[in-house]
Structure 1
Amino acid sequence: MRKIYYLASCDTCRKIIKSLPSNANLEFHDIRQNPITVEELEFMHQLSGSYEALFSKKAQLYKEKGLKNITLTEEDYKNYILEHYTFLSRPVVILENEIFIGNSQPNILKLQKALSNE
């Protein structure tokens, strides 16, 4: 599987996608237009080791719902990600059995390196 889960309206996602090699050959999955399924999220969890790693604490709903003031379980993280696309840290790129989560500079550099080594 070679897939990128992103948000088409997100400037950061668009900038990251532009920075990827043109021959990356990724399947694009806009999570607003096509919400992720339980199976897709469980596969991401299997690769990442936790739902918390996939969860965006930068999402506006995180603050609006007061989630920063409570202790969330792995099941809570999973349910929130499935409930609303903004809770998924973006972008998420899966290259076979390797996962890259979020838009941190070190993560994007590792992704670019993995794609250029192919």
Structure 2
Amino acid sequence: MIMYGLKTCDTCRKALKSLPEAQFVDVRAEGVPGDVLNSAYEALGDALLNTRSTTWRGLDEATRARPPLDLLADHPTLMKRPLIDVDGRFYLGWGKDVQAQLLG
């Protein structure tokens, strides 16, 4: 299990505390591998892009119009988080639905 997020994100910290076996990858420091990003986007679609983030609000309209995968490659903090990869199956966020699936 690999969790992609930000070490400063409260939601990511809560998820990591509940999933201590997860390998944590800080997207600001390490980024998200292109193949993982492509697979996650195929599975989750536009939900992967956090349009409520501070980073999003700081982008101009021309930049926002770029393809989502290009935006996420250039600005990994635009990814909704945490993104949790369990053997190729992706979970996004740390809501009750994700917790129920991962914690049982």
Higher helix share: 2
CA contact (8 A) 2:16 2:22 kept: no
Tell me the matched-pair count: 103
- Which residue pairs with 1:59 in the alignment? 53
- CA shift at 1:39, angstroms? 1.9
Question: Matched residues in 1 for 2:77 and 2:18: separation?
Answer: 22
RMSD: 2.3
Runs (4 or more) in structure 1 with deviation over 3 Å come to none
- CA shift at 1:31, angstroms? 0.7
Question: Matched residues in 2 for 1:109 and 1:55: separation?
Answer: 23
Please identify the structure whose Cα radius of gyration is greater: 1
Q: TM-score by structure 2 length?
A: 0.81
Q: After TM superposition, list the pairs within 5 Å mapping 1:54-93 onto structure 2.
A: 54-66=48-60, 72=65, 76-93=67-84
Unaligned runs of 5+ in 2: none
Which residue type is aligned with residue 74 of structure 2?
E
Q: TM-score by structure 1 length?
A: 0.73
- Percentage of matched positions with identical amino acids: 23
Unaligned runs of 5+ in 1: 114-118
Whether 1:45 aligns to 2:44 is: no
